[in-house]
Amino acid sequence: MPSIEIAGRRIGSGHSPYVIAELSANHNGRLETAFRIIEEAQKNGADAVKLQTYKPDTITLQSDSDDFKIKGGLWDGRTLYDLYEEAHMPWEWHKPLFDHAKKLGITIFSSPFDRTAIDLLEDLNAPAYKIASFEAIDLPLIKYAASTGKPMIISTGMADAEEIQEAIDAARSGGCKELAILHCVSGYPAPAEDYNLHTITDMIQRFGLVTGLSDHTLDNTTAITSVALGASIIEKHFTLDRNGGGPDDSFSLEPKDLYALCRGAQTAWRSLGKVDYGRKSSEQANVQFRRSLYFVKDLKVGDIVKDNDVKSIRPGFGLSPKYLPNIIGKKVIKPVLAATAVSWDVIDNI
């Protein structure tokens, strides 16, 4: 089974789901808010918190031309530059945020959007890199991140199978040895029916990598369901307040929702277990309440057992009901009383 390791945590199908709280733009321009998001992510069970490292000038151009205007969705009418100016994480915040996460004992890494972002994150000794869905076709960026030798996670929103394979090949050729991919739908928010979670099973078989889910639905159902289909990583946007007014707040989890996700994902993973038809420990005490054969009439030695002398009832201290044909028509060799469990030692010629 494939697995990767980030900051000492093993990730793969043999390990509990790795939950990433995506801070994204939910700092809303306040460093103190970013600190609190990291604190709440750690408190509510996330394995890691993830940033996004870019400047508006490293991700787009400052232009009012039609190409650079957003049409439809949450950010309708805004220019890309204006949106990223508001949403970006100031680079001077990265070190204090990394230091804060280290103090709290939660892993922190980021999605870089150009080579200079990777250089910054290398200076901070980032333990891994996440390639965002929109950058999954930027093969030079993937190769540069891979050249660090750090584990990588690539989101695959909007990418077809061929493009996913190209991204994987770029990561491998760049030197990445520990690689995971995330099934993703790049809608904000995305409806659950768009996720087609059976794709996760196919991705595991097709690409042979640790596979997870980057989930943009509004609740936890899709994410928790993905665990049953083999998702080893779950990434969700995380905020302090869904009504905070920031670019990503409205489709992000609040602390109570993150707690529920972490618990639900753990429970789903534990419930998968292994193929096991044996009796479970929680069932042992209830075996007595299964059906079994009981005499319903008093019988004396030599009586022939008839259909109406024996009944399949609860509790389960008598012979199994499957032996009823073996009992009917046989002699009783010991006297029995009604409400006595049927046993082999009272029946002749068994």
pLDDT tens digits, 221-270 = 999 999 999 999 999 999 999 999 888 899 999 999 999 999 999 999 99
* Terminal C-alpha separation, the chain: 51
For 252, residues 6+ apart whose C-beta sits below 8 A from its C-beta are: 22, 24, 26, 236, 237, 238, 239, 242
How far are the Cα atoms of 53, 270, 273 from residue 280, in angstroms, in the given order?
49, 14, 12
Over 80: is that where the pLDDT of 324 sits? yes
Which residues partner with 131 through β-bridges? Answer: 154
Mean pLDDT (the chain) is 96
CB 312 within 8 A of CB 342: no
pLDDT tens-place string over residues 18-32: 999 999 999 999 999
303 in helix, strand or coil?
A: coil
- Give the model confidence (pLDDT) of 166-217 as tens digits: 999 999 999 999 999 999 999 999 999 999 999 999 999 999 999 999 999 9
Please, which pLDDT band fits residue 73 given cuts at 50, 70 and 90? confident
Q: Model pTM? A: 0.89
Q: How large is the average pLDDT for residues 338-346?
A: 97
Nearest Cα to Cα of residue 293 among 275, 315, 271: 315
Q: What is the pLDDT of residues 39-52, one digit of tens each?
A: 999 999 999 999 99
Task: Identify the bridge partners of residue 211 per DSSP, sorted by sequence position.
Answer: 181
For 99-128, write each residue's pLDDT tens digit: 999 999 999 999 999 999 999 999 999 999
Domain ranges in the chain?
Answer: 11-54+89-272, 281-346
Alpha helices in 88-138 (DSSP H): 94-104, 115-123
Read off the pLDDT of residues 274-311 as tens digits, 9 standing for 90 and up: 888 888 888 888 889 999 999 999 999 999 999 999 99
pLDDT at 350 over 80: no
Under CATH, to which class is 11-54+89-272 assigned?
alpha beta
CATH top-level class for 281-346? alpha beta
Look at residue 321 and tell me whether its pLDDT is greater than 90.
yes
